[in-house]
Amino acid sequence: MVNSLKSSAGGIALQVTKPARSAGLVEEDAEGDATHLAGVYVYGFDGLLLVVDAEKVSSADRAELVSTAASDSGSIHRGEAASVEIAGNGYQVQLPGCKAAGLEIGDDGHTLSADGVLLIHDGGQTRLADDLATIRREQRHA
């Protein structure tokens, strides 16, 4: 199931419970209660948002992901610090800059995860999201 972008107190957000767990952006105790929520950077490109763990992804790895996304999409929008937050029975990520990337409230937020990274796209950037996830997997094994 693909979640839709929604309005939140902090602006626009996306429910990302399973992808956030998969990417390691949240840590939980044995009871499933959050013990750590990652601070993230959100970078926007036409039709794609790159959400990167501020602590777990090195500056060099982040630069490679951002430059690849900018080159392949032919676009770049302002990057900003954001956060993963508890929302209902799961987690959401705030998405500053998503309007500049062409994503609006109500749009489907197709989400792909890799270690320390979420790739949120409009459905038209599937190949680029897949490529960035592959790059991130290669970074982890380098």
**Token pair for residue 58?**
């090195």
The identity of residue 40, as a single letter, is V
Residue 50 lies in a domain: yes
Domains in the chain, number: 1
How far, in Å, CA of 68 to CA of 89, rounded?
35
Domain that holds residue 47: 6-140
pLDDT digits (tens, 9 = 90+) for 27-83: 999 998 999 999 999 999 999 999 999 999 999 999 999 999 999 999 999 899 999
Residue 11 lies in a domain: yes
Shortest CA distance to 135 belongs to which of 127, 38, 111? 127
Structure confidence at residue 1 (pLDDT): 65
Q: How many helices (H) and strands (E) does the chain have?
A: 3, 10
Structure confidence at residue 34 (pLDDT): 94
Residue 67 lies in a domain: yes
Structure confidence at residue 89 (pLDDT): 87
**Token pair for residue 96?**
């500053």
Residue 85 lies in a domain: yes
Residue 1 lies in a domain: no
pLDDT at 141 over 90: no
**Token pair for residue 86?**
């508890």
Strand locations in 62-134, DSSP E? Answer: 77-87, 90-94, 110-114, 117-121
Q: The whole model's pTM is what?
A: 0.95
Under the banding of pLDDT at 50, 70 and 90, the label for residue 10 is: confident
Q: What is the dihedral of CA 30, 95, 68, 108, to 10 degrees?
A: 90
> By percentage, how much of the chain surpasses pLDDT 70?
99
pLDDT digits (tens, 9 = 90+) for 85-124: 999 889 999 999 899 999 999 999 999 999 999 999 999 9
